[in-house]
């Protein structure tokens, strides 16, 4: 058995030091609660927002007018708006501008174009724009600095690997110290826990370069840890069966497609979409937000490939685009293009649809960010009933952290390390280290990807069905059994990856259980055995959770 360090104690434990986690931690600390962030890498550069971001969804009455519902409608019709409990979206919008003010005050440049906030891009022609354009290149460093200033304790290289529940409420977490070659365990006792582990990647084969599972649009170290850990202690998930696919440059996977200012064209020059024939910094080509499978469609019907063409974009907007890419954290891409002589004023770059990943699907939260497990909160990309990407993570992190901090005092701190669950999990993980030779974690991860791609694929060109999903669940169970019996890891780093892989297996199973229950076709969830979209399910969400080892599902009304 691997060694245990002395347990740590805190009032509020934040799992994951990304945008949501750091904002939650600061809000919690401001209530006077002792607050700790346990981070897998280093909060200065971790997660999908590591090197930047440039757009923040926000309702700014001064620019948008007094009717919040106008902006709510734009949010719901945007790429991020599909599966929301609207009362959460409204609270988010109400509080969003205050978060922007705070970021500006802390040192993130939310006004790179002058004295006031500007809204640009990601919009339909002639419609209100909800995305505040900012310069987030230093966002993680600023938030880290601010968290420390507010008294938050940040522990880097300490990924949480399991949650501990005692007497029906959260009691802390089991973490893995990966700061040294030899891994050790640390139990963190906490009165409240806020999960903020980001998107789940590496669940499907990388669409661009299937030989490289880390060539992903979002951070590949984010692997659905929150969903898996919360699932294991019975928390409810929603919308896990609804696939999500991002798009962007081919074969170089990188989020931030909307930072490009250009139009999408066929090889014969014809435009892909109906929206704009010339892109500007204010209104780009939104075609692929609306027509998600565009780039796949043109390959499968032979009319492609499809390119983004920026040659008609004005030189000042091209310079603006370059700045935007740096703000968005795409410096690798910019450097690469410079080095290889790829010039967007002359060259058209092919775009593609990336593999499915999990964003805005996962934990069901209430208006305060609390999950169905008392004392357990969630904020950010792994929440299932609200999504606004970086802004959503920041604002709902703030809400959840504030609520957790304010209510922490009323709970007792339990000796979480005494839970039999800790011993059980620690034993399992230790066995991977104790086994001298066996399967590498990567084999297991790739096998998960193969199964998900074969049996729980995303439409429109691939289908799901009861027989396929049932086969997939059977194979995933076989894989889990084999992996548990065979994985062998040489060091702390690889153990972390192996545990991520087990988390991915849970995510895959949740997706398949939920997909089996959604007996209709909706969006990219295409069922060959239920080819229609059932209007009776339009205002319902599917909850899925585990109870005494049994998977349960239930439909509920959306909260409007």
Site for another protein in 178-237 (CB under 8 A): 178, 181, 205, 208-216, 219-221
CA angle (50 as vertex; 44, 51 as ends), nearest 5: 105
Among residues 182, 332, 427, 560, which is the contact residue for another protein, using CB under 8 A? 332
Among residues 127, 278, 314, 461, which is the contact residue for another protein, using CB under 8 A? 461
345 vs 427 by CB, closer to another protein: 345
Instruction: Kindly compute the dihedral angle of the four CA atoms of residues 542, 290, 295, 135, in this order, to the nearest 10 degrees.
Output: -100
Among residues 104, 293, 303, 430, which is the contact residue for another protein, using CB under 8 A? 303
Closest CA to 231 of 361, 368, 135, 129: 361
Question: Under the criterion CB under 8 A, does residue 142 sit at the interface with another protein?
Answer: no
Site stretch for another protein (CB under 8 A), options 86-94, 265-273, 376-384, 396-404: 265-273
Report residue 40 CA to chain centroid gap: 15
- Strand positions, DSSP E, 35-92: 35-38, 55-57
Residues 6+ apart with CB under 8 A from 496: 40, 159, 161, 176, 178, 183
Applying the rule CB under 8 A, the residues between 5 and 64 that interact with another protein are 40-42, 44-47, 50-51
Question: Under the criterion CB under 8 A, does residue 335 sit at the interface with another protein?
Answer: yes
Among residues 311, 372, 418, 488, which is the contact residue for another protein, using CB under 8 A? 311
Question: Under the criterion CB under 8 A, does residue 315 sit at the interface with another protein?
Answer: no
Token look-up 């008609």 returns 312
Cβ–Cβ < 8 Å for 553, 518: no
Question: DSSP code of 54?
Answer: -
Count of CB atoms situated within 10 Å of the CB of 194: 36
Question: Under the criterion CB under 8 A, does residue 403 sit at the interface with another protein?
Answer: no
Applying the rule CB under 8 A, the residues between 348 and 387 that interact with another protein are 348-350
Residue 164: CB minimum distance to another protein, A? 24
- What x-and-dash track marks residues 91-120 binding another protein by CB under 8 A? ------------------------------
Question: Under the criterion CB under 8 A, does residue 496 sit at the interface with another protein?
Answer: yes
Cβ–Cβ < 8 Å for 269, 285: no
Question: Under the criterion CB under 8 A, does residue 347 sit at the interface with another protein?
Answer: yes
Question: Under the criterion CB under 8 A, does residue 266 sit at the interface with another protein?
Answer: yes
- Strand positions, DSSP E, 250-314: 263-265, 307-309
Binding residues for another protein, rule CB under 8 A, total: 85
Question: Under the criterion CB under 8 A, does residue 437 sit at the interface with another protein?
Answer: no
373 vs 468 by CB, closer to another protein: 468
* Strand-pair category, 35-38 with 153-155: parallel
62 vs 339 by CB, closer to another protein: 339
195 vs 348 by CB, closer to another protein: 348
Among residues 245, 464, 513, 522, which is the contact residue for another protein, using CB under 8 A? 464
Among residues 70, 367, 423, 446, which is the contact residue for another protein, using CB under 8 A? 446
In Å, what is the CA distance from 50 to each residue of 159, 218, 234, 373, 411? Answer: 17, 10, 31, 30, 34
CA angle (94 as vertex; 138, 401 as ends), nearest 5: 60
d(CA 401, CA 397): 6
128 vs 305 by CB, closer to another protein: 305
Question: Under the criterion CB under 8 A, does residue 535 sit at the interface with another protein?
Answer: no
Question: Under the criterion CB under 8 A, does residue 155 sit at the interface with another protein?
Answer: no
Question: Under the criterion CB under 8 A, does residue 136 sit at the interface with another protein?
Answer: no
Residue 399: CB minimum distance to another protein, A? 26
Residue 131: CB minimum distance to another protein, A? 22
Residue 481: CB minimum distance to another protein, A? 10
Site stretch for another protein (CB under 8 A), options 81-89, 284-292, 493-501, 510-518: 493-501
Residue 299: CB minimum distance to another protein, A? 6
Count of CB atoms situated within 10 Å of the CB of 539: 10
Beta bridge partners of residue 186, listed in sequence order: 175
* Strand-pair category, 237-238 with 160-166: unpaired
Cβ–Cβ < 8 Å for 258, 246: no
Question: Under the criterion CB under 8 A, does residue 532 sit at the interface with another protein?
Answer: no
Among residues 157, 257, 480, 525, which is the contact residue for another protein, using CB under 8 A? 157
Residue 267: CB minimum distance to another protein, A? 4
d(CA 78, CA 552): 31
d(CA 299, CA 208): 13
Among residues 115, 126, 346, 557, which is the contact residue for another protein, using CB under 8 A? 346
Question: Under the criterion CB under 8 A, does residue 257 sit at the interface with another protein?
Answer: no
Applying the rule CB under 8 A, the residues between 500 and 529 that interact with another protein are 527-529
| Signed CA dihedral, 519, 523, 526, 531: sign only | positive
5 vs 470 by CB, closer to another protein: 470
Residue 333: CB minimum distance to another protein, A? 8
Token look-up 């966002």 returns 139
Question: Under the criterion CB under 8 A, does residue 304 sit at the interface with another protein?
Answer: yes
3-state secondary structure 89-147: HHHHHHHHHHHHHHHHHHCCECCCCCCCCCECCCCCCCCCCCEEECECCCHHHHHHHHH
Cβ–Cβ < 8 Å for 252, 215: yes
Residue 53: CB minimum distance to another protein, A? 12
Site stretch for another protein (CB under 8 A), options 83-91, 301-309, 392-400, 414-422: 301-309
Closest CA to 313 of 277, 338, 288: 277
């Amino acid at each position: 058995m691997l060694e245990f360090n002395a347990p740590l104690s805190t009032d509020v434990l934040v799992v994951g030091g990304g945008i949501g986690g750091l904002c939650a931690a600061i809000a919690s600390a401001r209530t006077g609660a002792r607050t700790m962030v346990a981070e897998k890498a280093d909060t200065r550069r971790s997660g999908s927002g590591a090197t930047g971001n440039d757009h923040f969804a926000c309702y700014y009455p001064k620019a948008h007018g007094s009717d919040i519902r106008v902006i709510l409608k734009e949010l719901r019709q945007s790429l991020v708006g599909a599966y929301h409990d609207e009362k959460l979206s409204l609270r988010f919008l109400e509080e969003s501008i205050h978060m922007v003010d705070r970021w500006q005050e802390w040192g993130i440049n939310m006004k790179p174009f002058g004295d006031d906030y500007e809204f640009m891009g990601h919009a339909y022609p002639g419609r209100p724009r909800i995305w505040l354009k900012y310069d987030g290149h230093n966002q993680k460093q600023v938030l880290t600095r601010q968290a420390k200033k507010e008294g938050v304790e940040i522990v880097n290289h300490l990924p949480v690997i399991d949650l501990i529940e005692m007497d029906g409420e959260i009691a802390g977490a089991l973490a893995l110290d990966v700061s040294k070659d030899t891994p050790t365990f640390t139990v963190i006792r906490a009165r409240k826990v806020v999960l903020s582990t980001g998107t789940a990647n590496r669940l499907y084969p990388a669409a661009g370069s299937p030989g490289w599972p880390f060539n992903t649009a979002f951070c590949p170290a984010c692997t659905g840890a929150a969903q898996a850990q919360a699932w294991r202690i019975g928390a409810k998930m929603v919308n896990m069966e609804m696939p999500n696919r991002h798009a962007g440059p081919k074969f170089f996977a990188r989020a931030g497609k909307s930072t490009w200012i250009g139009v999408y064209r066929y090889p014969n020059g014809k435009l892909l979409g109906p929206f704009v024939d010339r892109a500007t910094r204010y209104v780009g080509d939104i075609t692929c937000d609306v027509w998600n499978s565009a780039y796949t469609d043109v390959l499968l019907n032979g009319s492609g490939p499809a390119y983004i063409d920026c040659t008609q974009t004005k030189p000042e907007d091209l310079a603006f685009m370059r700045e935007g890419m740096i703000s968005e954290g795409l410096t690798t891409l910019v450097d690469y293009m410079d080095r290889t002589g790829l010039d967007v004023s002359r060259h058209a770059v092919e775009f593609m649809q990336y593999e499915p990943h999990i964003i805005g699907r996962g934990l069901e939260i209430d208006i305060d960010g609390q999950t169905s497990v008392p004392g357990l909160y969630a904020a950010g990309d792994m929440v299932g009933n609200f999504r606004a990407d970086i802004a959503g993570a920041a604002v709902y992190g703030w809400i959840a952290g504030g609520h957790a901090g304010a209510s922490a005092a009323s709970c007792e701190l339990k000796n979480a390390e005494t839970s039999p669950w800790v011993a059980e999990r620690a034993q399992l993980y230790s066995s991977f280290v104790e086994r001298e030779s066996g399967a590498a974690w990567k084999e297991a991860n790739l096998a998960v990807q193969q199964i998900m791609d074969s049996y729980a694929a995303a439409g429109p060109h691939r289908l799901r069905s009861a027989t396929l999903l049932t086969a997939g669940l059977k194979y995933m169970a076989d894989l889990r059994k084999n992996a548990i019996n065979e994985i062998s890891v040489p060091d702390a780093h690889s153990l972390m990856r192996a545990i991520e892989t087990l988390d991915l297996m849970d995510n895959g199973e949740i997706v398949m259980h939920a997909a089996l229950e959604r007996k209709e076709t909706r969006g990219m969830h295409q069922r060959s055995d239920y080819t229609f979209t059932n209007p009776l399910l339009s205002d319902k969400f599917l909850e899925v959770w585990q109870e005494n080892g049994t998977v349960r599902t239930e439909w509920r009304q959306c909260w409007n």
